[in-house]
């Protein structure tokens, strides 16, 4: 499986992504962005330091000025590109993937890298005809500038937050910064450990957040915040120790933002119906986009949107032009303080429906195409959209099947207005795509969202 994905470069270390490969990627990037100054950072994964050093050496050998900002969270890396006024940068991280993975997130200008640019880098790596030069490495500290940015952007507060850092890079920065802004912070798994020994680094796997839920109840905290391995995603737990679906958190941001100004909101096509319905109810313009960080961010920036969100826990804010797990946490605290309501009260007031988790099934590429072809048969009876994969609108719900951007396989999600609607849809879907019957979800009941 190629490490060159639609939105980034990612694979298993060292079988798929190695120091040799990242050196050549550095040479390719140095050739593509000749004579530029680029920012480089990394997370806490066991393989990050080796891959980062080989990447930097490749950049230097192609004449690039490298601004090394060290081991920081991805939102701090994005901030550094803007603060240091460089052409772009590369973050060595596999984000939410398990410990055996690593990769490269890249940004040039204020836009995420495109699929076409990634394919061009792959071609340059294969040709190995690189620019040569003698670049310079400059080390810079960004933490204090980032803290000042948050201090200027977010009001101080005194709520009690439990932060689950999942032994990722956030433990080095997020709790301390939040305390400096007046918050009472209790931590879980703060010690950085690139093996992620205590939970999966993907907070959107809600069943992994049991320890956080228990800690919130034990501490009588106002909320819990679970971050991914590199800190750009966040999933919230309310004061009763219940996990909020990412769409529920997103809706709270949407209602607040559109109560104060008009504008557009970009949302992930896998999102529950509550998201576009809330935008429309609040007189905003809802823009659906295909799943994937790069696609969402590009549409968000192109439309100068107020907000954007993915079900994975990425929240983008128009006032800063990017996503940031800590900024999102502080904004949620600000919202709760201003509304004078608990997170549980606000979550309980939201409309309910029945939604599946994001179902992932490993399958070969030719099988993926065959499953999508079968899903297309629904067009005889129901409206379908092909923004990314096949999205079927049923009378009382919807169903989406698409190829995964980050893994070899498909992802499926569906929503019904009631449990019975969802059960009826499941049976109809299995009649057309019986292969899905092999997944545990289609053999048991569903979650009420």
Q: For residue 449, what pLDDT is reported? A: 46
Would 220 be classed as within a structural domain?
Answer: yes
Which residue did the predictor score with more confidence, 71 or 441?
71
Q: Give CA–CA dist 18/16, Å, rounded.
A: 6
Spell out the residues 6+ positions from residue 15 whose beta carbon is closer than 8 angstroms to its own. Answer: none
Note whether 67 and 23 are same-domain residues. yes
Q: Would the pLDDT of 324 be above 80?
A: yes
Would 224 be classed as within a structural domain?
Answer: yes
Note whether 27 and 130 are same-domain residues. yes
| For range 91-103, the mean pLDDT | 97
Note whether 16 and 127 are same-domain residues. yes
pLDDT band at 445 (very low <50, low <70, confident <90, very high): low
Q: For residue 299, what pLDDT is reported? A: 97
The answer to whether 25 touches 104, Cβ cutoff 8 Å, is yes
Q: Give CA–CA dist 305/316, Å, rounded.
A: 9
Q: For residue 59, what pLDDT is reported? A: 99
Dihedral over alpha carbons 374, 376, 380, 382 (to 10 degrees): 120
The answer to whether 57 touches 40, Cβ cutoff 8 Å, is no
The answer to whether 353 touches 415, Cβ cutoff 8 Å, is yes
Note whether 195 and 269 are same-domain residues. no
Q: Would the pLDDT of 310 be above 70?
A: yes
Last residue of a domain, one of 119, 141, 163: 141
Would 368 be classed as within a structural domain?
Answer: yes
Alpha helices in 303-418 (DSSP H): 325-339, 343-348, 365-375
pLDDT band at 177 (very low <50, low <70, confident <90, very high): very high
The answer to whether 192 touches 44, Cβ cutoff 8 Å, is yes
What is this structure's pTM? 0.94
Note whether 221 and 185 are same-domain residues. yes
Query: Catalytic residue numbers?
Result: 10, 95, 314
Cβ-in-10-Å burial (0-12, 13-18, 19+) of 192 comes to: middle
Q: Would the pLDDT of 314 be above 70?
A: yes
Q: Would the pLDDT of 76 be above 80?
A: yes
Note whether 199 and 185 are same-domain residues. yes
Q: Would the pLDDT of 444 be above 70?
A: no
Q: For residue 110, what pLDDT is reported? A: 83
When the pLDDT of each residue in the chain is averaged and rounded to a whole number, the result is 95
- Which percentage of the chain shows pLDDT scores above 70? 98
Count of alpha carbons within 13 Å of 253, Cβ hemisphere only?
30
| For range 246-263, the mean pLDDT | 98
Neighbour-count burial for 195-233, b at 16+ CB within 10 Å, e otherwise: ebebbbbbbbebebbebbbebbbebebbbbbbbbbbbbb
Last residue of a domain, one of 98, 124, 141: 141
Q: Give CA–CA dist 316/228, Å, rounded.
A: 16
Last residue of a domain, one of 237, 260, 290: 237
Using alpha carbons, list the distances in angstroms from residue 372 to 212, 388, 416, 443: 37, 10, 21, 21
Would 322 be classed as within a structural domain?
Answer: yes
Q: Give CA–CA dist 224/213, Å, rounded.
A: 7
Would 387 be classed as within a structural domain?
Answer: yes
| For range 101-123, the mean pLDDT | 94
Note whether 116 and 222 are same-domain residues. no
Q: For residue 448, what pLDDT is reported? A: 43
Count of alpha carbons within 13 Å of 262, Cβ hemisphere only?
5
Q: For residue 1, what pLDDT is reported? A: 65
Show the domain range for 103: 9-141
Note whether 271 and 380 are same-domain residues. no
pLDDT band at 447 (very low <50, low <70, confident <90, very high): very low
pLDDT, one tens digit per residue, over 17-48 is 999 999 999 999 999 999 999 999 999 999 99
pLDDT, one tens digit per residue, over 133-148 is 999 999 999 999 999 9
Q: Give CA–CA dist 292/310, Å, rounded.
A: 8
Note whether 156 and 130 are same-domain residues. no
The answer to whether 46 touches 195, Cβ cutoff 8 Å, is yes
- Which percentage of the chain shows pLDDT scores above 90? 91
Domain with 230 in it: what CATH number?
A: 3.40.120.10
Note whether 332 and 412 are same-domain residues. no
Quote the distance between the C-alpha of residue 262 and its chain's center: 25
Note whether 298 and 340 are same-domain residues. yes
The answer to whether 96 touches 1, Cβ cutoff 8 Å, is no
Structure tokens at 156: 């101080």
pLDDT band at 384 (very low <50, low <70, confident <90, very high): very high
Would 2 be classed as within a structural domain?
Answer: no
Would 4 be classed as within a structural domain?
Answer: no
Q: Give CA–CA dist 8/10, Å, rounded.
A: 6
Domain with 419 in it: what CATH number?
A: 3.30.310.50
Give the count of domains, the chain.
Answer: 4
User: What is the bridge-based pairing of β-strands 264-268 and 137-139?
Assistant: unpaired
Q: For residue 267, what pLDDT is reported? A: 98
Would 448 be classed as within a structural domain?
Answer: no
Note whether 131 and 31 are same-domain residues. yes
| For range 59-87, the mean pLDDT | 98
């Amino acid at each position: 499986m190629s490490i060159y994905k639609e939105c980034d470069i990612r694979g298993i270390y060292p079988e798929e992504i190695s120091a040799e490969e990242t050196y050549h990627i550095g040479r390719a990037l140095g050739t593509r962005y000749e004579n530029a100054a680029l920012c480089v950072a990394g997370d806490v994964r066991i393989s990050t330091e080796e891959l980062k050093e080989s990447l930097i050496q490749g950049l230097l050998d192609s004449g690039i000025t490298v601004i090394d900002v060290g081991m920081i969270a991805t939102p701090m890396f994005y901030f550094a590109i803007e603060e240091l006024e460089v052409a772009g940068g590369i973050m060595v991280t596999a984000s939410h993937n398990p410990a055996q993975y690593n990769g490269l997130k890249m940004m040039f200008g204020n836009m995420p890298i495109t699929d076409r640019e990634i394919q061009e880098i792959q071609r340059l790596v294969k040709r190995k005809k690189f620019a040569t030069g003698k670049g310079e490495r400059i080390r810079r500290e960004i933490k204090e500038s980032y803290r000042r940015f948050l201090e200027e952007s977010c009001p101080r507060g005194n709520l009690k937050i439990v932060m689950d850092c999942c032994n990722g890079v956030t433990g080095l920065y997020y709790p301390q910064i939040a305390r400096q802004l007046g918050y009472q912070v209790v931590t879980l798994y703060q010690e950085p450990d690139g093996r992620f020994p205590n939970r999966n680094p993907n907070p959107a796997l809600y069943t992994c957040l049991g320890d956080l839920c228990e800690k919130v109840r034990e501490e009588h905290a106002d909320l819990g915040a679970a971050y991914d391995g590199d800190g750009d995603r966040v999933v919230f737990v309310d004061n009763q120790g219940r996990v909020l679906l990412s769409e529920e958190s997103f809706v709270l941001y949407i209602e607040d933002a559109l109560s104060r100004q008009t504008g557009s909101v970009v949302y992930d096509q896998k999102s529950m119906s509550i998201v576009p319905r809330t935008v429309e109810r609040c007189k905003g313009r809802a823009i659906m986009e295909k799943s994937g960080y790069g696609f969402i961010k590009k549409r968000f920036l192109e439309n100068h949107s107020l907000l954007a969100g993915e079900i994975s826990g990425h929240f983008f804010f128009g006032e800063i032009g990017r996503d940031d797990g800590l900024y999102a946490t502080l904004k949620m605290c600000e919202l709760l303080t201003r509304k004078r309501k608990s997170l549980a009260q606000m979550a309980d007031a939201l409309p309910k429906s029945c939604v599946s988790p994001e179902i992932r099934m490993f399958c070969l590429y030719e099988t993926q195409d065959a499953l999508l072809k079968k899903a297309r048969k629904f067009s005889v009876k129901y409206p379908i959209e092909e923004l990314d994969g096949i999205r079927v609108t049923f009378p009382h719900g919807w169903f989406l099947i698409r190829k995964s951007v980050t893994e070899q396989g498909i992802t499926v999600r569906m929503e019904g207005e009631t449990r019975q609607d969802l059960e009826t849809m499941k049976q109809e879907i299995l009649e057309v795509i019986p292969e899905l019957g092999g997944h545990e979800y289609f053999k048991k009941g569903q979650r009420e969202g």
